[in-house]
Structure 1
Amino acid sequence: MLLFIKLLLAHLLGDFIGQPNSWVADKEAKKHKSIYLYLHILLHGVLTAILVGEIQFIPYAVFITISHGIIDLIKLHFQKNKTKRTWFIVDQILHVLVLIGVVFLYQNKSIDISWFGNQFWILITGILLVTKPTSIFIKIIISIWSPESSNAHSDNSLAKAGNYIGILERLFVFCFILTGHFEAIGFLLAAKSVFRFGDLKEAKDRKLTEYVLIGTLLSFGTAILTGLIVQALLLQLL
């Protein structure tokens, strides 16, 4: 674990702290012709070797350095303005997976795939259930009501923000259930109520208030029910 933390620290220092915006702009403009790309890659190798501090780890540090450069090159050549966010996420996931693989190789450990049994599939199914499927379910349920207030679809709202907020809040509730922090669910609901109070007060629309309340209760209720079911199933497997 300590080795992974050191490698992750080196990655964070090299990718975020030690990389100015001017380097990023130059890399995106010139791609493999940018001198800053190679300085960035070299910086990763140096940071990795220094933070681990073991002579025998140098070959692994070289591997991390080369793989980092290949991943960055792929991202630079394939990303577009509209796909930068997606490629950033993919880029970071690949870097972390490389670090995890190096840790297992260096410490001569094997990955215990026995964990990928019933517990894994139950947990993954529960997580996926409270994301987009629940959003679609709630949207269908409340579609029979249509608030008359134009504030329901305000132009000042971020695109798909409500959908992402709902998914995040359900994931939080799901995690709180599995970790036994039921009080945190109340705090989350109270926090959301505070932020929504201003909008509903300005709207002065009872239908909009009821519309939002139904959506919120369905969102929290589904997340709580899913969390309790998953928790019960996991306990049966222990």
Structure 2
Amino acid sequence: MILFIKLLLAHLLGDFIWQPNSWVADKEIKKHKSIYLYIHILLHGVLAAVLVADIGFIPYAILIAVTHGIIDLMKLNFQKPKTKRTWFIVDQIAHLLILIGIAFFYHRNSIIPILSFNSFWILITGILLVTKPASIFIKTIISIWSPENQISQKDNSLASAGNYIGILERLFVVCFILTGHFEAIGFLLAAKSIFRFGDLKEAKDRKLTEYVMIGTLISFGISILVGLAIQALLLQLP
């Protein structure tokens, strides 16, 4: 299980945290001719090898890099503007299945003692998951309903403020779950609803209201599931 957690952390870092939007745009335009595609593939292999920290894992890290590149190339060549959301989900599921398969067939402990703290890997992966990866996932899922034109005309909020607010609220929810303060989650949701009520009432746009509600519920749902998963995994540790 810990090996998979490390591989998942490497995947989150390589696919979301350390992959700029400019890389994504370049890959979508140039596909297999994009230099960033190969940097991205190499990054995944290096991250997997470094986090597992076992010389014997290097062939598996290479396998992760190669399969990641193949899956990404398939997505780049087959996705269309209308199917980007579907291919994003398929792409991520395929990557996770590869990681699960490798973790299943490879069972060794890290050769670096400081990297063998299982609780550290569980916590850092869970916390990272509810930041940028969760934001991208939520944006992709609700993009089918996104009233972007209306938002861009009416919204005078700070740049990327909504994104950072979402990340902070998910981190708070995970923290509340891990510390056993479930009532604080209800307070946080109520507080956000109160602040949002005035904006939505002023906008007088039912579609915008529904869009915000869907995004909020998915965001809280993801953070609650991740928090409960972290808690369950930590309880299983010896």
Aligned residues: CA RMSD? 1.8
2:142 aligned partner: 142
Any idea what the Cα deviations from partners look like across 1:124-162, whole Å, max 9, x if unmatched? 000000000000000000000122772466341100000
Q: In 1, distance between residues paired with 2:165 and 2:153?
A: 15
Q: In 1, distance between residues paired with 2:145 and 2:193?
A: 21
AA matched with 1:230: I
> Normalising by structure 2, what TM-score?
0.50
If asked which structure has higher relative contact order (CA below 8 Å, sep 6+), I would say 2
Any idea what the Cα deviations from partners look like across 1:56-112, whole Å, max 9, x if unmatched? xxxxxxxxxxxxxxxxxxxxxxxxxxxxxxxxxxxxxxxxxxxxxxxxxxxxxxxxx
Larger Rg: 1
For 1:3-82, what aligned pairs fall within 5 Å after superposition?
none
- Please state if 1:128 is matched with 2:113: no
- By how many angstroms is 1:216 displaced? 0.1
Q: In 2, distance between residues paired with 1:155 and 1:136?
A: 20
- By how many angstroms is 1:117 displaced? 1.1
Q: Secondary structure at the match of 2:145?
A: coil
Superposition misfits of 4+ residues, deviation over 2 angstroms: 113-116, 146-155
Q: In 2, distance between residues paired with 1:153 and 1:226?
A: 35
Q: In 2, distance between residues paired with 1:162 and 1:118?
A: 33
- By how many angstroms is 1:221 displaced? 0.3
- Please state if 1:218 is matched with 2:224: no
Number of residue-to-residue matches in the alignment: 126
- Contact 1:130/1:170 (CA < 8 Å) preserved in 2? yes
Percent identity between the aligned chains?
A: 80
Q: In 2, distance between residues paired with 1:203 and 1:139?
A: 21
Counterparts in 2 of 1:179 and 1:153: CA distance versus 1, 3 Å:
farther
Q: Which segments of 5 or more consecutive residues in structure 2 lack a partner in the other structure?
A: 1-112
Q: In 1, distance between residues paired with 2:189 and 2:157?
A: 21
Q: Secondary structure at the match of 1:144?
A: helix
Q: Which segments of 5 or more consecutive residues in structure 1 lack a partner in the other structure?
A: 1-112
1:172 aligned partner: 172
- Contact 1:174/1:224 (CA < 8 Å) preserved in 2? yes
Q: Secondary structure at the match of 1:218?
A: helix
